[in-house]
Structure 1
Amino acid sequence: MWALRRASLPLRSQAFNIRSSRACCANLELPITYGQGDACFHESCKSMPDGCLSSKRLYYTTQVSWNFSVDRRSFSSQAGAESSGEKDDLEDGFSELETLPSAEASQHEDELISEPELSEDEEEVEPSQHELELSENGADSIEKRSPRKRNVSELFKAILAFPAFSVHGALDKWVKAGNDLNRAEISLAMFNFRKRQMFGRALQLSEWLEEHKQIEFVERDYASRVDLIAKVRGLYKAEKYIETIPASFRGEVIYRTLLAYAVSTHNLKKSEEIFNKMKDLEFPVTPFTCNQLLLLYKRLDKKKMADVLLLMEKENVKPTAFTYKLLIDTKGQSNDMTGMDQIYETMKAEGCEPDITVKAILAKHYAAGGLKEKAEAVLKDMEGGNLKENRWACQALLPLYAELGQVDEVERVWKVCESNPRLQEFMAAIKAWGMLNKIEEAEAVFEKMSNTFKKLSSRHYYVLLKVYANGKKLTKGKDLVKRMADNKCDIGPLTWDALVKLYVEAGELEKADSMLQKAAQTNRKKPLFNSYMTIMEQYSKKGDTHNAEKMFYRMRQAGYMARLRQFQTLIQAYINAKTSPYGIWERMKADNIFPNKSLLAQLAQVDPFKKTAASDLLD
Structure 2
Amino acid sequence: MWALRRASFPLRLNSLYRNRVFHVRVPYVKLTPNTCVEDHAGISVSPQLAYGNGGFSSPNRCFHSGLGSSRCEFSSQAGTKDDDDLEDGFSELETPLGYESEKLLDSDSEHSDDAEVPHNELELSHDEDELVTVKKSSQKRVLSELFKDIMDAPGLSVRTALDKWVEEGKELSREEISLTMANLRRRKMYGRALQLSEWLESKKHLEFVDSDYASRLDLIAKLRGLHAAEGFIESIPESFRGEIVYRTLLANCVVLNNLHKAEEIFNKMKDLEFPVTAFACNQLLFLYKRNDKKKIADVLLIMEHENVKPSPLTFKILIDAKGQSKDIAGMDQIVEKMKGEGIEPDIQTNAVLVGHYISAGLDDKAKALLKKMEGEDLRENRWVCRTLLPLYANLGMADEVGRVWKVCETHPRIEDCFAAIEAWGKLKKIDEAEAVFEMMSKKWKLTPKNCSVLLKVYANHKMLVKAKDLVKRMVDSGCRLGPLTWDALVKLYVQAGEVEKADTVLQKAIQQSKAKPLFSSYLTILLQYAKRGDIHNSEKIFYKMKQAGYASRPRQYQVLIEAYINAKVPAYGIRDRLKGDNISPNRTLANMLVQVDGFKKSPASDLLD
What interval of TM-score do these two structures reach, taking the shorter chain for normalisation? 0.7 to 0.9
Following superposition, the deviation at residue 364 of structure 1 comes to 1.2
2:105·2:516 contact (CA, 8 Å) conserved in 1? no
Following superposition, the deviation at residue 390 of structure 1 comes to 1.2
Q: Does 2:447 correspond to 1:457?
A: yes
- Alignment partners' CA distance in 2, 1:209 and 1:338: 54
Q: List aligned pairs for 1:7-406, cutoff 5 A.
A: 7-9=8-10, 11-12=29-30, 15=42, 20-24=47-51, 51-52=61-62, 58-60=63-65, 79-84=81-86, 86-88=88-90, 91=98, 93-94=100-101, 97-98=104-105, 112-119=107-114, 125-131=116-122, 148-406=139-397
Q: Does 2:432 correspond to 1:441?
A: yes
| Structure 1 residues 538 and 4, CA gap change in structure 2 (3 angstroms) | farther
Gaps of 5+ in 2: 11-27, 32-40, 69-77
Percent sequence identity over aligned pairs? 58
**TM-score with structure 1 setting the length:** 0.84
Which amino acid is the alignment partner of residue 372 of structure 1? Answer: D
Q: Does 2:585 correspond to 1:595?
A: yes
2:90·2:290 contact (CA, 8 Å) conserved in 1? no
Which amino acid is the alignment partner of residue 418 of structure 2? Answer: M
2:82·2:587 contact (CA, 8 Å) conserved in 1? yes
Which amino acid is the alignment partner of residue 580 of structure 2? Answer: A
Deviation readout 1:15-66 (Å, 9 max, x if unpaired): 566964423589xxxxxxxxxxxxxxxxxxxx855634xxxxx335889xxx
| Structure 1 residues 61 and 278, CA gap change in structure 2 (3 angstroms) | closer
Task: Supply the RMSD in Å over aligned alpha carbons.
Answer: 3.1
- Alignment partners' CA distance in 1, 2:125 and 2:493: 35
- Alignment partners' CA distance in 2, 1:146 and 1:503: 36
Q: List aligned pairs for 1:453-492, cutoff 5 A.
A: 453=444, 455-492=445-482
Q: Does 2:425 correspond to 1:420?
A: no
Following superposition, the deviation at residue 509 of structure 1 comes to 0.7
What SS class does the counterpart of residue 243 from structure 1 fall into? Answer: helix
In terms of mean alpha carbon deviation, does 563-572 or 250-259 score higher?
Answer: 563-572
Which amino acid is the alignment partner of residue 50 of structure 2? Answer: A
Residue equivalent to 2:18: none
Following superposition, the deviation at residue 281 of structure 1 comes to 1.0
1:19·1:51 contact (CA, 8 Å) conserved in 2? no
- Alignment partners' CA distance in 2, 1:508 and 1:133: 43
1:291·1:322 contact (CA, 8 Å) conserved in 2? yes
- Alignment partners' CA distance in 2, 1:538 and 1:521: 22
Residue equivalent to 1:2: 2
Deviation readout 1:291-312 (Å, 9 max, x if unpaired): 1111122233223222112221
Which amino acid is the alignment partner of residue 315 of structure 1? Answer: E
Deviation readout 1:399-424 (Å, 9 max, x if unpaired): 00111111101000000000000110
- Alignment partners' CA distance in 2, 1:348 and 1:85: 32
| Structure 1 residues 446 and 136, CA gap change in structure 2 (3 angstroms) | farther
Following superposition, the deviation at residue 133 of structure 1 comes to 8.7
2:124·2:248 contact (CA, 8 Å) conserved in 1? no
What SS class does the counterpart of residue 352 from structure 1 fall into? Answer: coil
Following superposition, the deviation at residue 244 of structure 1 comes to 2.3
Deviation readout 1:315-369 (Å, 9 max, x if unpaired): 1212111112122222323333233222222222222211000000111122123
- Alignment partners' CA distance in 2, 1:498 and 1:132: 28
1:15·1:597 contact (CA, 8 Å) conserved in 2? no
1:139·1:224 contact (CA, 8 Å) conserved in 2? no
Which amino acid is the alignment partner of residue 116 of structure 1? Answer: H
What SS class does the counterpart of residue 163 from structure 1 fall into? Answer: coil
2:510·2:517 contact (CA, 8 Å) conserved in 1? yes
Residue equivalent to 2:563: 573
| Structure 1 residues 368 and 465, CA gap change in structure 2 (3 angstroms) | same
- Alignment partners' CA distance in 2, 1:427 and 1:543: 38
Residue equivalent to 1:501: 491
Q: Does 2:516 correspond to 1:526?
A: yes
1:159·1:170 contact (CA, 8 Å) conserved in 2? yes
Following superposition, the deviation at residue 279 of structure 1 comes to 1.6
Following superposition, the deviation at residue 373 of structure 1 comes to 1.3
1:287·1:320 contact (CA, 8 Å) conserved in 2? yes
- Alignment partners' CA distance in 2, 1:241 and 1:146: 33
Following superposition, the deviation at residue 604 of structure 1 comes to 4.2
Which amino acid is the alignment partner of residue 468 of structure 2? Answer: K
- Alignment partners' CA distance in 1, 2:564 and 2:330: 36
Which amino acid is the alignment partner of residue 86 of structure 1? Answer: D
| Structure 1 residues 16 and 592, CA gap change in structure 2 (3 angstroms) | farther
Following superposition, the deviation at residue 98 of structure 1 comes to 4.9
Gaps of 5+ in 1: 27-46, 53-57, 64-74, 100-111
- Alignment partners' CA distance in 2, 1:339 and 1:585: 38
Q: Does 2:506 correspond to 1:516?
A: yes
| Structure 1 residues 475 and 188, CA gap change in structure 2 (3 angstroms) | same
- Alignment partners' CA distance in 1, 2:175 and 2:423: 39
Between the two proteins, the alignment pairs up a number of residues equal to 564
| Structure 1 residues 526 and 448, CA gap change in structure 2 (3 angstroms) | same
- Alignment partners' CA distance in 2, 1:497 and 1:134: 32
- Alignment partners' CA distance in 2, 1:95 and 1:449: 19
- Alignment partners' CA distance in 1, 2:90 and 2:170: 46
Deviation readout 1:62-116 (Å, 9 max, x if unpaired): 89xxxxxxxxxxx99x9323445633499484576458xxxxxxxxxxxx42421
2:174·2:206 contact (CA, 8 Å) conserved in 1? yes
- Alignment partners' CA distance in 2, 1:186 and 1:560: 34
Which amino acid is the alignment partner of residue 291 of structure 2? Answer: L
1:139·1:220 contact (CA, 8 Å) conserved in 2? no
- Alignment partners' CA distance in 1, 2:190 and 2:59: 38
| Structure 1 residues 114 and 445, CA gap change in structure 2 (3 angstroms) | same
Deviation readout 1:262-317 (Å, 9 max, x if unpaired): 22112233222222221221111111111111112223322322211222122121
What SS class does the counterpart of residue 329 from structure 1 fall into? Answer: helix
In terms of mean alpha carbon deviation, does 335-344 or 406-415 score higher?
Answer: 335-344
| Structure 1 residues 148 and 85, CA gap change in structure 2 (3 angstroms) | farther
1:139·1:257 contact (CA, 8 Å) conserved in 2? no
What SS class does the counterpart of residue 155 from structure 2 fall into? Answer: helix
2:489·2:502 contact (CA, 8 Å) conserved in 1? yes
| Structure 1 residues 460 and 241, CA gap change in structure 2 (3 angstroms) | same
Residue equivalent to 1:34: none
What SS class does the counterpart of residue 217 from structure 1 fall into? Answer: coil
| Structure 1 residues 542 and 333, CA gap change in structure 2 (3 angstroms) | farther
